[in-house]
């Protein structure tokens, strides 16, 4: 094929779709979000539990590390639970023509 034709564009994409490996091999992002936020949640919560008076005074009297840390932890656990309850669906086999 030396010269492309406008019609071939759509056929080319259809053909590539059948060879694509993303659906079968790409990991689930929920695992990463869940893991990272659980880890951040723990780190920031600990910073909150050990907060100095200066830290709390700075943040208008709120222990902002504690609250943000707990919030992030909850979000992380939410994603991990969601992943557990609804695991990645196995890819549907390509339709035979």
Partner 1 sequence: MQTPTYLAAELRLPTNWLDYTILAIYFLVVLGIGLAARRSVKTSLDFFLSGRSLPAWVTGLAFVAANLGATEILGMAANSAQYGVYTTHWYWIGAIPAMVFLGLVMMPFYYGSKVRSVPEFLLLRFDRSAHLLSSILFAIAAILIAGVNLYALAIVVEALLGWPLWVSIVVAGAFVLAYITLGGLSSAIYNEVLQFFVILAALIPITILGLKKVGGWDGLSDTLSAQHGGDFMTSWGGTGIGSDNPLGANWLTIVLGLGFVLGFGYWTTNFAEVQRALSAKNLSAAKRTPLIAAFPKIFIVFLVMIPGLVAAALVPKIGTAGSDLQYNDAIPYLMEQFLPNGVLGIAVTGLLAAFMAGMAANVSSFNTVFTTDIWAKYVKKGESDEYYLKFGRLITVIGVLASIGTAFLAQSFSNIMAYLQTLFSFFNVPMFVVFIIGMFWKRASVKSGFWGLLAGTVAAMVNYFWIYKQGVVDIPSDQGANFVSAIVGFVAGAVVMVAVSLFTAPKPAAELEGLVYGTRSAGMSEAPGEGDDAWYRKPALLGWGAVVLAAACYIPFSF
Residues found near partner 1 in the complex (CB under 8 A)? 1-4, 6, 9-10, 13-14, 16-17, 19-27, 29, 32-33, 36-37, 39-40, 43-44, 47-48, 51, 54-56, 58-60, 62, 64-65, 67-69, 71-72, 75
Non-local CB neighbours of 66 within 8 Å, separated by 6+ positions? 45, 48, 49, 51
Q: How far is the CB of 96 from partner 1 (least distance, A)?
A: 16
Tokens representing residue 54 in the block: 């200066």
Using the minimum distance from each CB to partner 1, give the nearer residue, 14 or 85: 14
Residues 56, 49: Cα–Cα separation, whole Å: 11
Residues 91, 21: Cα–Cα separation, whole Å: 10
Q: How far is the CB of 14 from partner 1 (least distance, A)?
A: 7
């Amino acid at each position: 094929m030396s010269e492309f034709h406008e019609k071939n564009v759509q056929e080319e994409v259809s053909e590539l779709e059948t060879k694509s490996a993303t659906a079968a091999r790409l990991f689930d992002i929920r695992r990463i979000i869940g893991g990272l936020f659980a880890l951040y949640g723990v780190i920031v919560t600990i910073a909150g539990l050990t907060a100095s008076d200066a830290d709390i005074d700075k943040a208008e009297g709120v222990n902002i590390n504690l609250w943000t840390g707990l919030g992030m932890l909850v979000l992380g656990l939410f994603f991990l639970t969601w992943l557990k309850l609804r695991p990645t669906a196995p890819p549907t086999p390509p339709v035979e023509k």
